[in-house]
């Protein structure tokens, strides 16, 4: 059996539903406002950039860790057979750069 509602109850329901509808329309208006749409787009782009930068950092960190591991024995001693050639190469490149700058200047 359905309960018989009074006119006052029906009127109160109508008022409550109007208020809910007004809130919903206000929310839609805010969501559809150009500034809101632009702000949301900016936030998505910033999030994507942050995620990409984070992944790049993790990838670079992994590579650096792997390279560093290649220059050390498991017990932590440096692998001179790898360190010395790289150090000589670095000194040679720096020497060439210094010499080319002196010629230009």
Residue 99 neighbours by CB distance under 10 Å: 9
Q: Cβ distance 79 to 71 under 8 Å?
A: yes
58-99 per-position pLDDT tens digit: 999 999 999 989 999 989 899 999 999 999 999 999 999 999
SS3 letters for 21-75?
HHHHHHHHHHHHCHHHHHHHHHHHHHHHHHHHHHHHHHHHHHHHHHHHHHCECCC
Cβ–Cβ under 8 Å, residues 71 and 82? yes
Q: What is the pTM of this model?
A: 0.47
2 or 70, higher pLDDT:
70
pLDDT exceeding 90 applies to what percent of the chain? Answer: 78
The string of pLDDT tens digits covering residues 17-55 is 999 999 999 999 998 999 999 999 999 999 999 999 999
């Amino acid at each position: 059996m359905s309960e018989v509602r009074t006119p006052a109850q029906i009127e109160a329901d109508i008022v409550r539903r109007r208020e809910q509808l007004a809130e919903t329309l206000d929310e839609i208006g805010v969501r559809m406002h150009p500034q809101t749409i632009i702000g949301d787009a900016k936030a998505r782009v910033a999030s994507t950039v942050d995620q990409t930068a984070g992944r790049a950092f993790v990838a670079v960190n992994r590579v650096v860790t792997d390279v560093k591991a290649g220059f050390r024995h498991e017990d932590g001693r440096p692998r001179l057979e790898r360190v010395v050639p790289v150090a000589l190469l670095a000194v040679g490149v720096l020497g060439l750069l210094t010499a080319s700058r002196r010629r230009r200047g």
